[in-house]
Structure formats: C-alpha cells, structure tokens
Amino acid sequence: MYMYLVDHIPKSTPHNRRPGLLIEDQWITVHNTANPSSTARNERHWLTSERNDVTASFHIVIDDKEAIECIPLNEVAWHAGDGSGKDSGNRTSIGIEICESGNYDVTLDNAAHLVASMLVERSWSVAQLRRHYDWSGKNCPRLMNDKGDWSGWTAFVASVAAKMDEGEVIEVLKPEDANTIILFLSAAYMSTNVPEARKEFNRLANELRKASGQPPEPN
C-alpha cells in the first residue's frame, strides 16, 4: 500500500504550471515519468524547481511508497500535450504520473489501486481511462508500450477493472459520518452499566475512528 499526500504547488508557480482554471473532468490520463531514477518526491520537487522552465505539470504522481497530489483535482494541469482547447485532454482529464524508479511492480499495483479508487469515487468506469498517447500521440505511458504493442496498457486497465470488481477499493468512511455514528454509540454507552457492554461500545467507536482516519481514544 501507499500513503496519499497532498502537497499542492503554489498558484504562483512559474511558467503557468498551475493555471487555476477549473477542469471539466471526464477522464483520467495515465503517464510514465520517462525518468528511470526519479521518485514521486523528486517529481513533486521538480514542479517548483528553479531549474525547471517548462509549462508542464500533472495532478498526482505515484511510486512504490506514496502518491502525491500536486495540483487540486478540480483544476487544470498541463500533461496531455494537446493544448488548451475546450475538449483537450488538458482541460478534461486528471493526469496521473507513474514513476519508473524503485519496485516497479509495486508502483504499478499502487497506481491501479489509486486509479480504481478514483473511478469508484466518481462512479466512473475504465471506459474513462486514457493514455497520454491517446491525446497527442506521444509514446506515453512508455513502459506499457513494447514497440507498438500496447498489451501493457491493456493489462493495466484489466488490473484496474479487477480491483473495482473485487471490491478491493471501498470508499473511505468520512470522519463526519463516523462521528455521527459514534454519537449514537455514546447514547447506548450511557444507557448501560454493564462493563462488558461499555467496553464493546468503546471498541466499536475506535473501529469507526480508525476506519475514518482518526486516532483512537483511550477507554
């Protein structure tokens, strides 16, 4: 598994890398970084590096350890190489960069999980996946292309679909919902003096806190 970090580049980032335009998102576009040694952190750092003078960016970069969201998913990033027209990949898709460094099998599995969870969250299907290649003809994601044979891409899409079918991807419980349920549990807790029952209510409340990304509380 991987950590999901949010580390947005500032709106003032040079070369218009975060234009702040709202995205009409209908697609997820998949890329490889085309850099065999860079990690997700390296790619995030490059977006705000003083040595970087190109107008190119992406939403999320993922490696074998973490996914970093670099631009808010409701804003445009420049990753599809097809301009800024209304129907361009840049204006209509969320760009995911898959790192080539580290344990690539783990990275690929992480990426499939990330993409599957994003599709589930949006009630989308794998029909909404695109390669960078589909927008501009660039050989990207290059590690899924073996001299014109895109079976690596087909396998990736199948892996995403399998994760969606197997229910491996479940929506995370929202903290507000968890805390509302915990309020009901508290009422049940207060209505009993049986120690075992109270202990069980505490345990359930902590399970809800964990499931929603909140720290458990001591009993």
Binding site for Zn ion (CB under 5 A): 31, 132, 140
Shortest distance in whole angstroms from residue 132 CB to Zn ion: 3
Taking the complex as a whole, how short is the minimal distance between the CB of residue 1 and Zn ion, in angstroms? 25
What minimum distance in Å lies between the beta carbon of 84 and Zn ion? 17
Polymer length of the chain? 219
State which residue, 29 or 117, has the beta carbon closest to Zn ion: 29
The least distance separating Zn ion from the CB of residue 140, rounded to whole angstroms, comes to 3
Joined tokens for residue 218: 């001591």
Q: Which residues contact 19 (CB under 8 A, 6 or more apart)?
A: 75, 76, 78
The strands making up 60-62's β-sheet, listed across from edge to edge, are 3-6, 66-69, 60-62, 93-98, 27-32, 129-131
Q: Which is nearer to Zn ion, 137 or 216 (CB)?
A: 137
Q: CA 160, 165, 169, 170: dihedral to nearest 10 degrees? A: 150
Which residues does 149 contact at the CB level (< 8 Å), separation at least 6?
none
Closest CA to 164 of 112, 127, 129, 212: 112
At 185, the amino acid letter reads L
Of residues 70, 128, 93, 84, the one with CA closest to residue 23: 93
- Shortest gap between Cβ of 80 and Zn ion (angstroms)? 8
Q: Measured from the CB atom, is 141 or 209 closer to Zn ion?
A: 141
Between residues 138 and 198, which has the closer beta carbon with respect to Zn ion? 138
Q: Which is nearer to Zn ion, 37 or 186 (CB)?
A: 37
